[in-house]
Amino acid sequence: MKRWNVGKRLLPLFAGMMLLLSACGRADLSTLNPQGPVAEEQFGLMKLAISIMIIVVIVVFAISLYVIVRFRRRPGDNKIPVQVEGNHKLEIIWTVIPLILLVILGVPTVNSVFGLSKDYSKDPDAIQVEVTSHQFWWEFYYPQYDIHTAQELVIPTGKKIAVTAISGDVLHSFWIPSLAGKIDTNPGTAVANGTANANKMYFEATKAGVYLGKCAELCGPSHALMDFKVKAVDEASFDRWTAAQKAPVALPSDPAIKDSLVKNCLSCHAIGDQGVLVYPSLTDIGSRLTVGGILVNTDEAKYDNEGTTYENLKRWIEDPEAVKPGTLMPKVELTEQELDGIAKYLSELKIDYEK
């Protein structure tokens, strides 16, 4: 029988784990690198839990290792060991100690459950956002400003963002890992009706920056591609943003492109006060970080899903299904010129609000 030293195998595993844990992940995506008070409180609970659990694991592993090595049957040993029925004292110990550990974990847990469920939707200092999830995009409405936008949630730093979340179709889940835990979006009628199925949560970004958002409930083929962004800016920039959202938007100067846009796009989308708000609003699409939530706008494309805003728009409009399988946007019939013109026009629909 081969003698195997469990320690030799487990130690590198543990070391690796610790190393990985210390590589806390991206500041804009990792739950281990919280960037706001809600994620921080949740991370604190995670650390408490894992510390307690590591003690348990070490105790169990230590006893396991010991018995495996010490009580191995040596060759030729045919003795019958003493048959032990049990030991009351031991059994009490390993019932009471886990119970105590659970109390240590349970009390802060219950505290946080109630603390983090605080409802900021009536708080005058908080920014209200109504989140509606769709297959496969995110709709954001700011009732205090009467602003409709999509895919990118612009917020001021240091303020509570009071979210009321609902779904326009199937279940989705609204998750910004670096800022807060997720909340499911359940289907129901318009949030304005105060429907009972809307869920509330809040979060806050301490620092300015872009935080990655993910859908976290299987919702169809493009569940994996239903990303959104949270963009936290200083208060002044946010005020400029809200003001700029209300400013009138000019349609394309070229009449042919304008006609095509109105006919093909504004039957589903809105730009400024033109068009309809059924599908993602395109008012400031040129300023957004992505097209379709998944094609990242950049001048230095590194990955398959990156390109300039113009390229991304062309790619998306040309064949939405190829970018996001299952999307409800149809393949719109456009000539090469119309496609170019519309893509160029949209890529220039920018709002300048950051300093």
Partner 1 sequence: MAHAHAHTVKRYKGLMDWLTTVDHKKIGILYLIAGGLFFLVGGLEAIMIRIQLWKPLNNFVSADTFNELITMHGTTMIFLAAMPMLFALMNAVIPLQIGARDVAFPFLNALGFWTFFFGGVLLNVSWFTGGAPDAGWTSYVPLAGSTYSSEYGVDYYVIGLQIAGIGTLIGGINFLVTIINMRAPGMTFMRMPMFTWAIFITSALILFAFPALTVGLVALMFDRLFDANFFNVANGGNAVLWEHIFWIFGHPEVYILILPAFGIISEVISTFSRKRLFGYSSMVFATVLIGFLGFMVWAHHMFTTGLGPVANALFSIATMLIAVPTGIKIFNWLFTMWGGSIKFTSANLFAVGFIPTFVMGGVTGVMLAAAPADFQYHDSYFVVAHFHYVIVGGLILGIFAGLHYWWPKMFGRMLNETLGKLTFWTFFIGFHMTFLIQHFLGLLGMPRRIYTYLDGLGFNEMNLISTIGAFLMGLGTIFFITNIIVTAVSGKKAAGDAWEDGRTLEWTIPSPAPEYNFAQTPLVRGYDAYWKEKMDGHKEMTPAEPLGSIHMPSPSILPLFMSIGLFIAGFGFMYHNYFVGGGGLALTFLCMLIRSLKDDHGFHIEPDELHDKGVKA
Q: Which is nearer to partner 1, 178 or 264 (CB)?
A: 178
- Residue among 67, 190, 192, 236 that touches partner 1 (CB under 8 A): 67
DSSP string of 245-299, one letter each residue: HHS--PPPSSHHHHHHHHHHTTTT-EETTEE-SSS---TTGGGSSEETTTEEE-S
Based on the shown chain and the rule CB under 8 A, indicate whether residue 256 belongs to the binding site for partner 1. no
Q: What 8-state DSSP symbol labels residue 30?
A: -
Whether the CA torsion 258, 261, 267, 272 is positive or negative: it is negative
Based on the shown chain and the rule CB under 8 A, indicate whether residue 350 belongs to the binding site for partner 1. no
Nearest approach in angstroms of CB 259 to partner 1 is 35
Per CB under 8 A, the segment of 196-204, 231-239, 240-248, 310-318 that binds partner 1 is 196-204
Which residues 105-144 are close enough to bind partner 1 by CB under 8 A? Answer: 105-106, 109-110, 112-114, 116-117, 135
CB 267 within 8 A of CB 275: yes
Residues paired with residue 213 on neighbouring β-strands, in sequence order:
228
Side chain identity at 166, as an amino acid letter?
I
Based on the shown chain and the rule CB under 8 A, indicate whether residue 158 belongs to the binding site for partner 1. no
Report the side by side order of strands in the sheet with 127-134.
147-150, 137-142, 127-134, 161-167, 199-203
Nearest approach in angstroms of CB 62 to partner 1 is 10
Which residues 206-235 are close enough to bind partner 1 by CB under 8 A? Answer: 212, 214-225, 227
Q: Which is nearer to partner 1, 1 or 247 (CB)?
A: 1
Q: Which is nearer to partner 1, 156 or 181 (CB)?
A: 181
Nearest approach in angstroms of CB 309 to partner 1 is 18
Based on the shown chain and the rule CB under 8 A, indicate whether residue 326 belongs to the binding site for partner 1. yes
User: Pairing mode, if any, of strands 152-156 and 228-233?
Assistant: parallel
Nearest approach in angstroms of CB 119 to partner 1 is 10
Based on the shown chain and the rule CB under 8 A, indicate whether residue 30 belongs to the binding site for partner 1. yes
In angstroms, the Cα distances linking 279 to 10, 67, 143, 270, 282 are: 53, 64, 18, 8, 9
- Residue among 77, 125, 273, 333 that touches partner 1 (CB under 8 A): 77
Per CB under 8 A, the segment of 177-185, 242-250, 262-270, 312-320 that binds partner 1 is 177-185
Residue with tokens 């899903």, as numbered in its chain: 305
Q: What 8-state DSSP symbol labels residue 33?
A: S
Based on the shown chain and the rule CB under 8 A, indicate whether residue 68 belongs to the binding site for partner 1. yes
